């Protein structure tokens, strides 16, 4: 039987078509409002930036100068090559760090023995900035792609593993006990209860890990890189080429934002069961 919804203010007996409730329309309105606010925020930021440049802030290039420099780099192919190199390093490092962080976080959260053995090392390395590992990475791994990816992987791993661990230990014990009362073993309970319940924490940790990977990129490309957005920014610094530095900053920010939005869409699809505001 198809349920009907009374229409407010309509004649008695009038109903709304199925699937057209106010609750169903709210997410679309909220999304449109957020897009509008995002556009306003970008416009305000560009206006402030242009105003500061016009006011004569020392060395600050305006949006048009940065756009012209960006177009020159695109036409020459330099920006596309640098972007491809940086994306490859970030993607590989982020993927490796996340794939390692999720099982380690699950082990720490599910098994007390594993937590006691692993947590001291995780907490120890969390206090050491990944950038401080660069000299050691160069000595042990050389100056090729391996040390760059290693440093990015470490940054993504340390940002994600704690979130995964916290997600496992935060699972409602009532759900676990209910599954066991119904006859589920540890494997089934872990797979059918713990993993879904901790997935929001895992995905948030992955988003944080992605940010850490991008934040580490510029320093990682200090290691004898010949291409990359961070490498291009460092070269521009030597010649006081501020427009190129701004192009690099905007490129990293836009790429990071796009990848974060993709992760956010995945999070919403995998956590539809979770109540949202």
Burial class of residue 75 (count of CB atoms within 10 Å of its CB; 0-12, 13-18, 19+): exposed
Query: Does residue 223 register a pLDDT over 80?
Result: no
Domains of the chain: 65-270 (1.10.3720.10)
What are 130-175's pLDDT values in tens digits? 778 888 888 888 888 888 899 999 999 988 898 888 888 888 778 7
What are 31-57's pLDDT values in tens digits? 788 888 888 988 998 899 888 888 877
Phi then psi dihedrals of residue 15, to 5 deg: -135, 160
pLDDT at 62 (0 to 100): 86
| pLDDT tier at 9, thresholds 50, 70, 90 | very low
| pTM reported for the whole predicted model | 0.77
Distance of CA 128 to the CA centre of its chain: 21
The more confident residue out of 8 and 218 is: 218
Query: Does residue 273 register a pLDDT over 70?
Result: no
Q: Rounded to whole angstroms, how far apart are CA atoms 116 and 125? A: 15
Q: Rounded to whole angstroms, how far apart are CA atoms 145 and 134? A: 13
| pLDDT tier at 84, thresholds 50, 70, 90 | very high
What are 167-211's pLDDT values in tens digits? 888 887 787 778 888 777 777 777 788 888 888 888 888 888 898
Provide the b/e sequence for 5-27 (b: ≥16 CB within 10 Å): eeeeeeeeeeeeeeeeeeeeeee
Query: Does residue 25 register a pLDDT over 80?
Result: no
The more confident residue out of 262 and 268 is: 262
Query: Does residue 26 register a pLDDT over 60?
Result: no
Percentage of residues of the chain with pLDDT beyond 90: 20
């Amino acid at each position: 039987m198809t349920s009907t919804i009374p229409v407010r203010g309509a004649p008695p007996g009038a109903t709304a078509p199925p699937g057209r409730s106010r609750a169903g329309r709210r997410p679309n309105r909220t999304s449109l409002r957020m897009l509008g606010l995002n556009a306003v925020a970008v416009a305000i930021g560009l206006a402030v930036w242009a105003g500061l440049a016009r006011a004569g802030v020392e060395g600050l290039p305006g949006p048009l100068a940065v756009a012209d420099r960006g177009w020159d780099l695109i036409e020459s192919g330099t920006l596309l090559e640098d972007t491809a190199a940086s994306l490859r390093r970030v993607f590989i490092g982020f993927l490796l760090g996340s794939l390692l962080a999720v099982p380690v976080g699950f082990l720490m959260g599910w098994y007390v023995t594993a937590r006691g053995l692993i947590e001291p090392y995780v907490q120890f390395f969390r206090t050491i900035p990944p950038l401080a590992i660069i000299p050691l990475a160069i000595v042990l791994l050389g100056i090729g792609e391996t040390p760059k990816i290693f440093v990015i992987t470490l940054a993504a791993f340390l940002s994600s593993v704690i979130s995964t661990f916290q997600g496992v230990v935060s699972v409602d014990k009532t759900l676990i006990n209910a599954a066991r009362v119904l006859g589920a073993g540890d494997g089934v309970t872990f797979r059918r209860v713990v993993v879904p319940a901790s997935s929001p924490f895992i995905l948030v940790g992955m988003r944080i890990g992605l940010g850490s990977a991008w934040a580490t990129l510029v320093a990682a490309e200090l290691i004898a890189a010949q291409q990359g957005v961070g490498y291009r920014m460092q070269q521009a610094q030597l010649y006081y080429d501020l427009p190129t530095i701004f192009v690099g900053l905007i490129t990293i920010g836009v790429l990071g934002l796009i990848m974060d939005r993709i992760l956010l869409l995945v999070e919403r699809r995998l956590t539809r069961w979770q109540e949202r505001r």
